[in-house]
Amino acid sequence: MKAWSGRFQKDTGALMDDFHSSIGFDCRLAEEDIQGSIAHANMLGDCNIIKRPEADAIIIGLKKILEKVKAGQIEWDVKAEDIHMNIEKLLIQEIGETGKKLHTARSRNDQVALDARLYVRKEIAAIQNLFKELLKVLLEMAEREQDTILPGYTHLQRAQPILLGHHLLAYFEMFKRDLERTDDCLKRVVISPLGAGALAGTGFATNRHQIAAELDFQGVSCNSLDAVSDRDFVAEFIFIISLSMMHLSRFSEELVLWSSMEFGFVEMDDSYSTGSSIMPQKKNPDVVELVRGKTGRVYGDLMAILTILKGLPLAYNKDMQEDKEALFDAVDTLKGCVSIFIPMLQTLAFNKDKMLAATKDGFLNATDLADYLVAKGLPFRSAHSIVGKLVHYCLEQQKRLEELSLEEFQAASTLIEKDVYETLEIQKVVAVRNSYGGTSKKQVLAQLDMAKEWFHTIK
């Protein structure tokens, strides 16, 4: 018998049971469901809505079920539809008729909203711990590579030389923002919907604030319609996960490129690479390729939840049952990707000589020659034109800028003197980028200090 079957004359068919049931995936909310039910039972007893001994018996029964859940001793029943009714059925089996009183003054609508919030809060904490470990690794790598020079790129064309430490700190900033976003999201997660009932509240004299306090929530929802229909926090959390996956994917794409023979900047450790079933020489960067691919999957989860919610009238609709699989998948995917990304990064081997050699070709010091002329009094746009012509001349002569003779330089501009050669040295090009946040070693060390100081505040 279904909990709601009183007005029905027929049982649901087997196909309907399978189609309608969510226990196959929302069983993951068992611990959250029991946690919320214990707080609810406590409130019912304290408010004399049910007798205190009855509330205590319910709590004892729920704790026994929780132990069985943790021990993997529960077999979920598809006919009981979802995690809420499964737990209630188990409770009635455990303590008898008193178990039927647990659902007093609540609905599955506010119950599932609470479960989802408890789950998201738990997973935010888990993801934050992973982000902290990732940020720690990036800091260590950036400090270690503070003198390594490589080409910086725009349009995937060599642009200007930078320090590898500077490059790694750019990713530190991305994941720092992701971590900060989870903190901000958490403010909207820890609001208790329990007590909103199906949509209109309840006629019982409940104490919603007591439940919120027991669950360590920061407040209660102030509108019962919004309480049961709000999944903004789910969409927001998946959006944050999507942004994080995008950052991982950008990093992954660079590592795919850098590990190729064409770049040769980095080699993946054997532990995080695979080979080919036909080509014996291959070493494939499968970890980062999979991370890049799984990003699209998480984007799909975000589009799923947004599409589910976009046409729903107030309040609860069965469509909202579909939020959980997208949420679970996004969480699992991000956690899996970050968990393997951390040790993969720690085992990377950078080819510093290859990186430095790559800065020699592509005229990465051309901007510095233009700046040199500006320092001599020439307007930048005129200097830009002169250097552009010199680059064209070098291409024709198959020379680098620093290989031109002083006579060749002065044929382009009489402002150019012997000191130009010092200006064009790659190490000097990096060192002069000393503006705040730039790639000079002084600025990279300052960025490292700020990053470390911030990192210590979040431990």
Question: Annotated catalytic sites, by residue?
Answer: 155, 276
User: What gap in Å lies between CA 437 and CA 444, rounded to an integer?
Assistant: 7
Phi, psi angle pair for 107, to nearest 5°: -125, 160
Decide: helix, strand or coil at residue 82.
coil
Calculate the CA dihedral of residues 264, 270, 271, 274 and round it to 10 degrees.
Answer: 90
Task: Determine contact, residues 364/426, Cβ cutoff 8 Å.
Answer: yes
CB 123 within 8 A of CB 327: no
Residues 101, 273: Cα–Cα separation, whole Å: 56
Do 196 and 221 meet the contact criterion of CB atoms below 8 Å apart?
Answer: yes
- Residue closest to 84 by CA, chosen among 325, 326, 321: 321
Cα separation, 51 vs 38, in Å, equals 15
Q: d(Cα 410, Cα 367) in Å, to the nearest integer?
A: 17
Please, are residues 34 and 188 in contact by the beta-carbon 8 Å criterion? no
Report the candidate in 338, 332, 290 with the shortest Cα–Cα distance to residue 133.
338
Q: Using CA atoms, how far apart are residues 397 and 33, in angstroms rounded to an integer?
A: 74
The candidate with the shortest Cα–Cα distance to 228, out of 199, 204, 248, is: 199
Burial class (CB in 10 A: 0-12, 13-18, 19+), 123: buried
Residues whose CB falls within 8 Å of the CB of residue 246, separated by 6 or more in sequence, listed in order: 295
Measure the CA–CA gap between 171 and 30, rounded to whole angstroms: 37
Q: Report d(CA 287, CA 297) in Å as an integer.
A: 15
Nearest to 446 by CA among 455, 454, 436, 456: 436
